[in-house]
């Protein structure tokens, strides 16, 4: 995948995250990994279909996920990553990826659609994307580290 094609995803993050209660969104760095990677914590999986196909995954550790959900819920304390907190974080994934589809349409890639978010929680979990290489974008959202895995073709 052309690395420039991730710009709509960067735009989507920058546009949506401030609207859901966060102050700052910083893109830290990009890296490339193989199709298979391991994760600890929470991974939100959204499939993309249309002229561009594949998967966008958003990952964070358990503590970050609780803090992220807390901010989305206007500071409500999140002790357990319960159903409501899971729903909040999943919805963030949904909103970011849907907005990315809109951003892609602005550069002429129209007709994209996304699946509902699938939330995975685990330690030492392994995900394999249907691409030779996965682009990993590291974001710092306020003080929360987030990794976005992009496997689109």
Partner 1 sequence: MKFLIVDDSAFMRTQIKQVFSELAYIEFAEAVNGIEALEKHRTFNPDVVILDYIIPAPDGLAVLKILAEIDKKVKIVMITSLGNQNFIYKDCIECGAFAIITKPIARENALKVIKSIRTRVI
Among 98, 109, 121, 136, binds partner 1 (CB under 8 A): 98
Count of residues that bind partner 1 according to CB under 8 A: 23
Out of 29, 116, 124, 143, the residue judged to bind partner 1 by CB under 8 A: 116
Binding to partner 1 by CB under 8 A, coded x per residue (else -) over 28-67, reads: ----------------------------------------
Are 140 and 5 spatial neighbours (Cβ–Cβ below 8 Å)?
A: no
Interatomic CA distance for residues 153 and 147, integer angstroms: 19
Closer to partner 1 by CB, 92 or 127: give it. 92
d(CA 22, CA 71): 7
Instruction: Give the whole-angstrom CA distance, residue 86 versus residue 38.
Output: 20
Choose the binding region for partner 1 from 12-20, 24-32, 36-44, 53-61 (rule: CB under 8 A): 12-20
Q: Which stretch binds partner 1 (CB under 8 A): 3-11, 14-22, 53-61, 118-126?
A: 14-22
Q: How far is the CB of 31 from partner 1 (least distance, A)?
A: 27
Q: Is 111 helix (H, G, I), strand (E, B) or coil?
A: coil
How far is the CA of 49 from the CAs of 32, 55, 59, 149, in angstroms? Answer: 22, 9, 21, 16
Take residue 120 and report the two structure tokens written for it: 């995975």
C-alpha count within 13 angstroms, C-beta hemisphere, residue 118: 11
Residue ranges in contact with partner 1 by CB under 8 A? 16, 19-20, 72-74, 83-84, 87-88, 90-91, 94-95, 97-99, 101-102, 105, 113-114, 116
């Amino acid at each position: 995948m052309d690395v420039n094609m991730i710009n709509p995803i960067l735009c989507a993050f920058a546009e949506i995250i401030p609207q859901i209660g966060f102050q700052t969104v910083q893109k830290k760095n990009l890296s490339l990994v193989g199709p298979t990677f391991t994760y600890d914590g929470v991974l939100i999986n959204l499939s993309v279909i249309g002229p561009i196909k594949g998967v966008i995954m958003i990952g964070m550790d358990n503590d970050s996920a609780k803090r992220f959900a807390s901010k989305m819920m206007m500071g409500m304390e999140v002790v357990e990553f319960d159903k409501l907190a899971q729903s909040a974080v999943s919805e963030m994934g949904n909103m970011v990826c849907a907005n990315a589809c809109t951003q892609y349409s602005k550069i002429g890639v129209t007709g994209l659609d996304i699946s509902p978010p699938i939330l995975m929680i685990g330690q030492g979990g392994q995900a394999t994307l249907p691409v030779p290489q996965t682009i990993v974008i590291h974001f710092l959202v306020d003080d929360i580290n987030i990794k976005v895995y992009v496997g689109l073709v």
